[in-house]
Amino acid sequence: MSDEASRRRFLTDSLVAGAAGLAAASVSPALSPANEKDAGTIAAGAAKPRSLTFQPRYHRWHVDPGVEWTETNTQYATLHWTVPISQTAIVLVDVWDHHYLRDTEARTEVVISEKLLPLLAACRSTGMPIIHAPSAPQAMQHPNWRKRSDGHSTTTVRQDWPPTEFLNKRGPYQAFARPREPREAELVKLRAERQLHPLVQPLEGEAVVATGDELHHYCREQEILFLFYVGFNTNACVLVNDYGTLAMSQRGYEVIIVRDCTTGMESAETQPALSQTSGAILFLEMFGRYSTTSEEIVRGLSAS
C-alpha cells in the first residue's frame, strides 16, 4: 500500500472509530425518507415533526433611510421561515472519501465528523429527505440511483457552437490550451478512484442523482421546494455543478447553503482566512440565495 493510501486509510479508520457511536446511536438503518414520508410516527413512536422553523441569512444590499448608501454600510439580515418538512431536502454534493489537497481533505473530514453527521442523524430521524449528488460516474454505480425512466437523457446536449476543436483546444486552437501538468495523470487516477465517504453512505430509500435534471425530476415527484446544500467544494461543485446551488436556484427552488457543513479549495493567499469558502457563501447570500447552520436546523427540527 502506498504512503498516500495508508494515510487515507488511517484518517478514515480514525474517523470511523470516533463517529461510529454517534451514527449508530442516532440513525436507524431501517429509517428512510421513502418509508417514513407518509407515516404519522417515527421509529420511537413520537409524533413526527411536520415543519421546520429557521432563520435564513442573506446579504442586504439596501440601507435604512438616512444612512449613506455605501458598501461598508450594507450588512447581513435574517428572515423567519417555517416550512413543511415534506417540502425540504438536504442535498449532499460530492462528499468524497478523499481529496488530493491534504489541507482541504483535513477540513473536509472535520466538517463531516463534527457537523454533517449530527445534521444527517437529526434529519433522518424526522423523515426529511436526503439526496446524494456525487458526480455522474459514482451516482450511476449506486443501487439508489434515480435514473430517469422516461427516456430523458442524463447528459447535457451541446449545440454546434463553439466548435469541438475549440473546446478541446486542438488544431488551430492548440496554442490556447493550458500547459500540461507533470502530475496530471496522478490527479486523474485519484479522481477516478474516489468514492462516497464511508461515514455518509446513502441509506435505503435515499435518492442518488447524477445530474441536475434528475435532481429536478425527483424534487418535482416529491413536491420539494427548499434545498439545503451541504458538501464540497464550496467554491466549485457546490456552486457550478448542474445539481449545484446556482443551477437549482435558476430552476426556481429556494436554495439555502448550510455554511458550517461545507468548505472550499483555498490558495496560498486565501488559506489562512478561508477566504474562498467564505466568499462563495457570501456570493450566494448576496445574489438571491440564503445560508443557515447545521445547529439551527437541528434546533428547528427539535422545536417542531
10 located within any domain:
no
* pLDDT of the residue at 204: 95
Q: Classify 253 as helix, strand or coil.
A: coil
* pLDDT of the residue at 148: 76
- pLDDT over 60 at 14, yes or no: no
* pLDDT of the residue at 303: 84
Least confident range of 85-89, 142-146, 150-154: 150-154
Q: Give the CA distances from residue 203 to residues 30, 118, 119, 132, in Å, rounded to whole numbers and listed in that order.
A: 8, 15, 15, 10
**Which residue type, as a one-letter code, is found at position 183?**
R
CA proximity to 229, closest of 207, 213, 248: 248
Q: 30 pLDDT band (50/70/90 cuts)?
A: very low
Residues in the chain: 304
Give the residue-averaged pLDDT of 11-20: 42
- pLDDT over 50 at 230, yes or no: yes
Give Cβ neighbours of residue 122 (< 8 Å, ≥ 6 apart): 26, 297, 298, 301, 302
State the chain's mean pLDDT as an integer: 86
Q: 149 pLDDT band (50/70/90 cuts)?
A: low
18 located within any domain:
no
* pLDDT of the residue at 159: 77
167 located within any domain:
no
Higher pLDDT: 68 or 24? It is 68
- pLDDT over 50 at 35, yes or no: no
* pLDDT of the residue at 126: 94
Give the residue-averaged pLDDT of 104-120: 97
- pLDDT over 80 at 65, yes or no: yes
Give the residue-averaged pLDDT of 174-195: 91
Q: How many domains does the chain have?
A: 1
- 262-301 pLDDT, tens digit each: 999 999 999 999 999 999 999 999 999 999 999 999 999 9
Question: How far is residue 37's CA from residue 87's CA, in Å, rounded to a whole number?
Answer: 11
- pLDDT over 90 at 192, yes or no: no
25 located within any domain:
no
Higher pLDDT: 1 or 77? It is 77
- pLDDT over 50 at 3, yes or no: no
* pLDDT of the residue at 154: 52
* pLDDT of the residue at 4: 46
289 located within any domain:
yes
Domain encompassing residue 262: 33-151+195-303
Give the residue-averaged pLDDT of 228-252: 97
* pLDDT of the residue at 263: 98
- 3-state secondary structure string across 40-58: CECCCCCECCCEEEECCEE
CATH number assigned to the domain comprising residue 215? 3.40.50.850
**Which residue type, as a one-letter code, is found at position 68?**
E
Give the residue-averaged pLDDT of 40-63: 75
63 located within any domain:
yes
Question: Could you give the angle at the alpha carbon of 303 between the alpha carbons of 116 and 52, nearest 5°?
Answer: 65
176 located within any domain:
no
* pLDDT of the residue at 19: 39
Higher pLDDT: 23 or 90? It is 90
Least confident range of 2-16, 92-106, 159-173: 2-16
* pLDDT of the residue at 37: 41
175 located within any domain:
no
- pLDDT over 90 at 209, yes or no: yes
* pLDDT of the residue at 150: 66
